[in-house]
């Protein structure tokens, strides 16, 4: 049993979201140069290698990840692949900042889905928080502006798919070890993306291969840090710090990709974040 250390858990969560920010920046660049499916496929290769290596270190090896819920894990894998493809396309289409500002509504969608799927009671305050979060999305997208276009729906669609993926994960882990769900996401994801992505292969130069390698290694590091984070601290104590990714992404978007950080985006993201934090705290208090 790992001793609980909230301060270390917070530091690990901050390091995790910093790595995810670097990963998103590398993915955004590569997806602007090559097929999105190819970029995601290669990233899944690293993810699969990581989960297989972890499984081999467990008591029982690969036998420890046998599942009695193959359909749920198959659905999760498809949802996760689709979510990543859509959000990467959104990075290229509307930028990192706008994508993450809208995607921050994901915890609110999870809370809304948890009622009908998991039987968790939401209550009036929870629904009001969800309504406030979607109001913040409207502030970001500014109906009537150039941003309010079909492409702006990409991060919202991605958030909805990831929310459903998360709810199915919680459903699956009621009967199995959480690592089993983690393992099958990586392995099935690699198999499925390879089956589709190999047809979109494009040759890459040495620089882009180096960036691709860095992208995969950073993704592995981010997942390892996240595992360590949840091993040493309660999820409710560290999860609010995941919202720092909005700050990190904004700095990268402006400094590296020349994106604009508008007042509407800042205000809308603040509303969505506040609603999400309220939901997290409310869920933690109820538990």
pLDDT at 188 over 90: yes
Reference 130, options 147, 151, 117, 111; nearest CA is: 111
137-158 pLDDT, tens per residue?
777 776 555 555 677 789 989 9
Q: Which of 122-126, 214-218, 236-240 has the highest mean pLDDT?
A: 214-218
Q: Cα dihedral angle (129, 130, 134, 140), rounded to 10 degrees?
A: 50
Cβ–Cβ < 8 Å for 54, 60: no
Reference 277, options 87, 117, 126, 124; nearest CA is: 126
Mean pLDDT of the chain: 85
* Predicted pLDDT at 144: 52
Domain range summary for the chain, segments of one domain joined by +: 6-286
Burial 52-67 (b: 16+ CB within 10 A, else e): eebbeeeeeeeeebeb
Main-chain dihedrals φ then ψ at residue 69, nearest 5 degrees: -130, 55
Spatial neighbors of 32 by CB under 8 A, at least 6 apart, are 92
* Predicted pLDDT at 145: 58
Give the number of other CB atoms < 10 A from CB of residue 251.
13
* Predicted pLDDT at 282: 63
């Amino acid at each position: 049993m790992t001793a609980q250390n909230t301060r270390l858990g917070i530091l690990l969560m901050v390091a995790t979201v910093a790595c995810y920010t670097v990963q998103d920046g590398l993915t955004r660049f590569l997806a602007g140069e090559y097929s999105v499916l190819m970029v995601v496929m290669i990233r899944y290769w690293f993810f699969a290698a990581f989960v297989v290596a972890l499984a081999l270190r467990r008591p029982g090896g690969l036998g420890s990840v046998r599942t009695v819920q193959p359909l749920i894990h198959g659905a999760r894998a498809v949802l996760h692949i689709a979510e990543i493809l859509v959000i990467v396309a959104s990075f290229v289409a509307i930028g990192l900042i706008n994508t993450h500002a809208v995607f921050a509504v994901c915890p609110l969608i999870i809370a809304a889905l948890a009622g009908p799927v998991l039987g968790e009671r939401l209550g009036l305050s929870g629904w009001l928080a969800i309504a406030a979060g979607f109001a913040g999305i409207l502030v970001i997208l500014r109906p009537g502006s150039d941003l309010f276009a079909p492409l702006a729906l990409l991060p919202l669609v991605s958030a909805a798919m990831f929310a459903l993926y998360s709810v199915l994960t919680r459903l699956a882990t009621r009967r199995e070890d959480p690592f089993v769900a983690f393992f099958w996401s990586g392995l099935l994801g690699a198999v499925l993306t390879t089956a589709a992505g190999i047809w979109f292969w494009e040759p890459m130069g040495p620089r882009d291969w180096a960036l691709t390698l860095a992208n995969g290694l950073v993704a592995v590091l981010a997942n390892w840090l996240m595992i360590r984070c949840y091993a040493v601290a309660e999820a409710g104590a560290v999860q609010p710090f995941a919202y720092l990714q909005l700050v990190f992404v904004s700095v990268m978007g402006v400094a590296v990709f020349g994106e604009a950080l508008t007042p509407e985006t800042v205000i809308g993201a603040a509303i969505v974040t506040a609603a999400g934090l309220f939901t997290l705290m409310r869920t933690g208090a109820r538990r």
